[in-house]
Structure 1
Amino acid sequence: MPHIAVIGGGPAGLRAAEILAEAGHGVTVFDQKPSFGRKFLMAGRGGLNLTHSEPAPDFLKKYGAAETLMARAFERFSPKDLVEWCHGMGLKTFVGTSGRVYPETMKASPLLRAWLKRLDGLGVRFCPRHRWQGWEGDALVFQTSTGEAVRFTPDATLIALGGASWPHLGSDGQWANIFGKADIALSPFRPANCGFLVSWSEIFRTKHAGEPLKPVTLSFAGNEKRGEVMITEKGVEGSLIYAFGAALRDAIEAKGKADITLDLRPDLSQEALLKRLSAPRGSQSFSNFLRKASGLSPLALSLLREGQKDLPLDPEVLAARIKAMPLALTGTAPLARAISTAGGVRLDAVDDHLMLKARPGVFVAGEMLDWEAPTGGYLLQGCFSTAAIAAEGIKAFLAPA
């Protein structure tokens, strides 16, 4: 019976191990941490967003340059397949108002427990505390937590070690050094689904860090989307920011900044807002009148004043600023704090089965590959689906001629 090494105990590695074990192969999963699925558990801390319910054409566009790869991956394991897989674990799912799909428990831990139990029942062997060091000929070399060197020579290998974000959970990107020495083509790691830097005043930062700005409509480079922006000590983050993340990052890399605008009253037209701001103020102070007439939250009012010595008194100028509040993003938050990463193994370095062209019998899946997507279920779906391609590729590689 062929034996397969899976390096990396995250969603991509565990899903590939499951497919291969179900096919009757022997599988050993190695991970440098004491337990498996650590980033998966962290991703589900605020509600495990498994996938999205939107139509496939719209779904696939979220992967940008990797859309063709993901279209093939969805043929192996689609969003519908992921939902049915979750049901097969005994966990029901529901679709939120945003179209995102969650398990009813909203937590990752029940799903991970059921998953590991299933893998154990399939005979999958687990080797925690094994950090992969590279190859010695055909053998994989691992170092245990006690410093012991362990060598293992499988019939095929699946590597799913993630990107370079959240290194304390295991995705530290150190595998890139091994791949680089093996002349495997890589793209540099870049933060994805990350926060962005804004030069807040000390008063604004102290008063409003940690507060959500909602609802707002963000506009950038001719595109706009409505949602929520989280104010941080050093800038902004949140799902609305992540939706524009790749374009904002690319603009900063090219020009040193990205200029966005925020509509602070998306439910009110500029004409209606102007009418309110043009009403007689009477004996009210300007601040009190503005608060009542604009309907802005205290955070939005502070943002409106940020960087301004005095707010314009002209109702037309003020209405225009509320409907298109300019904000300059000057950099990205550190890579280690990003939710995910772009970069990794270039797609031209693997074949259609995600086998490394430079290393036959070695396959890669998940966030190690050079693709990115916003949050909203697209990241996990991509990991599961690419794992399915790689697992099917391993089965074909090991099949008798």
Structure 2
Amino acid sequence: MKKKVAIIGGGPAAFLLAAFLDAEKFSVTIYEKNKTSGRKFLVAGKGGFNLTHSEAVEQLIQRYTPDDFLANALSHFSNTDFRNWLDQIGIPTYIGSSKRVYPKKGIKPIEVLNAILKHLKEKSVVIKYEHTFSDWDQYGNVIINNQAISANYTVFSLGGSSWKVTGSDGGWLDTFSKKGIQTKAFQASNCGYHINWKADFIKKNEGTPLKNIAISCNNIVQKGEAVITTYGLEGNAIYGLSPQIREQLQTNSTARVYIDFKPSLTLEKIHSKIHLSKYRTTTDILKKELKLSTPAIDLLKTYLSKDSYLDTQSLAINIKEFSLEITHTTSLDEAISTVGGIDLKAVSDQFELKKLPHQFCVGEMLDWDAPTGGYLLQACASTGVFLADYLNKIR
């Protein structure tokens, strides 16, 4: 007789877990509280559907915080493995200029989701919609829609606490805490950060990008682009520094980041270009000699004193290391992802809850962090497959 696996939550980690469980050994049911599954999956696809990242798996692992927790899962089911599997179910992929991996042009997020759901159906995976987990009964069985569900293995894939409109509201956290499972409060990650802009600066530059820059915090450097917003900055160049910024905010109430407007040039080269430039005014030198954008020049002019702006050495230093103070993050609901959830100390190396034998947690509900660019989805997929293969080996 087949053993029963109950998967609570219908997102990427749940899908990959169900897809890789041995259909000869297990009867698999996914319980999803929404009327449809994969809602966050589809929302994420609206801004450019990063399925994973193409860099070498050794480097990929280092993108995660903490990098050791997911190492086994990411090595077991790598970005290459993920691409191969997607191709097998009819979703070919390609590597973009940023080394991010996307579905082949013309394939929409809903088509990716439908291909996955079709594959699950072919494996006889049952998905029950509008089925909400609320607690456990006295015997440790999960309660769904006020009924206890008996299963040989129960896997939670409940997501984090961002984009509540998709159903990922983190409302399960208190239920787990009351059960005696170690949890951590949710915090925003891959989110916008608040900066007290001067009124005249933001009036001129709201919505403009700072392109081809590098931002650093706690000696960690992230290259990319950031967009100036009314409240501060957002974009991949600052999203990737979320762990470092959060650490400073928790310690000091504020955080300090440094923008390098010309990461392709050394400080000495910039100083030389300014000093030897044929252009007479500082603004012309920045615009025509160094090719700085208007918002970058406006930042320097607005926040540097007149003496610092006109002094060659001081200006060069600020072009390479322009300081900005961050006051706080945007809200949880505005964040692309969250950290917090199930404390990593509460699960085994196979993601089994130490207080609840045969019950597991996968995906974003665990307390790990990663930047945007396909890393989040890859980790969800990898934890699902890693657990599936572990269960497949149990006799």
Q: Same fold (TM over 0.5)?
A: yes
208 and 28 in structure 1: CA distance in 2 versus 1, 3 angstrom threshold: same
Query: Which secondary structure state, in structure 2, belongs to the residue aligned with residue 355 of structure 1?
Result: coil
- Measure how far apart 1:293 and its partner are: 4.2
- Measure how far apart 1:49 and its partner are: 1.3
Residue identity in the other structure for 1:203: D
Residue identity in the other structure for 1:176: L
The answer on 1:104 being equivalent to 2:104 is yes
Which residue of the partner structure matches residue 13 of structure 1? 14
The one-character-per-residue Cα deviations of 1:358-401 (angstroms, maximum 9, x if unpaired) are 1112111001111111112221111111112322344455x3xx
CA contact (8 A) 2:160 2:168 kept: yes
Which residue of the partner structure matches residue 233 of structure 1? 230
CA contact (8 A) 1:47 1:107 kept: no
290 and 121 in structure 1: CA distance in 2 versus 1, 3 angstrom threshold: closer
Superposition RMSD in Å: 2.2
CA contact (8 A) 2:57 2:75 kept: no
Q: Which is worse superposed, 289-298 or 187-196?
A: 289-298
Q: Distance in 2 between matches of 1:376 and 1:286?
A: 37
- Measure how far apart 1:122 and its partner are: 1.7
Which residue of the partner structure matches residue 146 of structure 1? none
The one-character-per-residue Cα deviations of 1:260-313 (angstroms, maximum 9, x if unpaired) are 22122334444444445444666xx76556533443211112222233564632
- Measure how far apart 1:225 and its partner are: 3.6
- Measure how far apart 1:158 and its partner are: 0.9
CA contact (8 A) 2:32 2:128 kept: yes
Which residue of the partner structure matches residue 201 of structure 2? 204
CA contact (8 A) 1:355 1:390 kept: no
Query: Which secondary structure state, in structure 1, belongs to the residue aligned with residue 142 of structure 2?
Result: strand
The answer on 1:142 being equivalent to 2:144 is yes
The answer on 1:346 being equivalent to 2:347 is no
290 and 363 in structure 1: CA distance in 2 versus 1, 3 angstrom threshold: closer
76 and 290 in structure 1: CA distance in 2 versus 1, 3 angstrom threshold: closer
Query: Which secondary structure state, in structure 2, belongs to the residue aligned with residue 59 of structure 1?
Result: helix
- Measure how far apart 1:346 and its partner are: 1.8
203 and 155 in structure 1: CA distance in 2 versus 1, 3 angstrom threshold: same
Q: Distance in 1 between matches of 2:204 and 2:247?
A: 30
The one-character-per-residue Cα deviations of 1:172-218 (angstroms, maximum 9, x if unpaired) are 11111111111011122222212211111233333323221011122
72 and 287 in structure 1: CA distance in 2 versus 1, 3 angstrom threshold: closer
Q: Which is worse superposed, 306-315 or 357-366?
A: 306-315
The answer on 1:296 being equivalent to 2:297 is no
- Measure how far apart 1:59 and its partner are: 1.3
Q: Which is worse superposed, 340-349 or 220-229?
A: 220-229
Query: Which secondary structure state, in structure 2, belongs to the residue aligned with residue 22 of structure 1?
Result: coil
- Measure how far apart 1:36 and its partner are: 0.6
Q: Which is worse superposed, 163-172 or 299-308?
A: 299-308
181 and 228 in structure 1: CA distance in 2 versus 1, 3 angstrom threshold: same
Residue identity in the other structure for 2:300: L
- The residue correspondences of 1:67-216 to structure 2 (distance < 5 A) are 67-105=67-105, 107-137=108-138, 138-143=140-145, 149-216=146-213
Q: Distance in 1 between matches of 2:78 and 2:265?
A: 39
- The residue correspondences of 1:270-285 to structure 2 (distance < 5 A) are 270-278=267-275, 279=277
- The residue correspondences of 1:284-323 to structure 2 (distance < 5 A) are 287=283, 291-308=287-304, 310=306, 312-323=309-320
Q: Find 2:353's aligned residue among 353, 356, 368.
A: 356
322 and 156 in structure 1: CA distance in 2 versus 1, 3 angstrom threshold: same
Which residue of the partner structure matches residue 385 of structure 1? 382
Q: Distance in 1 between matches of 2:303 and 2:151?
A: 61
| Same amino acid, percent of matched pairs | 36
Q: Distance in 2 between matches of 1:280 and 1:371?
A: 51
34 and 204 in structure 1: CA distance in 2 versus 1, 3 angstrom threshold: farther
Query: Which secondary structure state, in structure 2, belongs to the residue aligned with residue 45 of structure 1?
Result: helix
The one-character-per-residue Cα deviations of 1:121-180 (angstroms, maximum 9, x if unpaired) are 22221211222111123443223xxxxx34422222111001111121111111111111
Identify unmatched segments of 5+ residues in structure 2: none
- The residue correspondences of 1:50-69 to structure 2 (distance < 5 A) are 50-65=51-66, 67-69=67-69
TM-score by length of 1: 0.90
CA contact (8 A) 1:21 1:124 kept: no
Residue identity in the other structure for 1:71: A
TM-score by length of 2: 0.91
The one-character-per-residue Cα deviations of 1:22-62 (angstroms, maximum 9, x if unpaired) are 34422111111111111111112122212222222211111
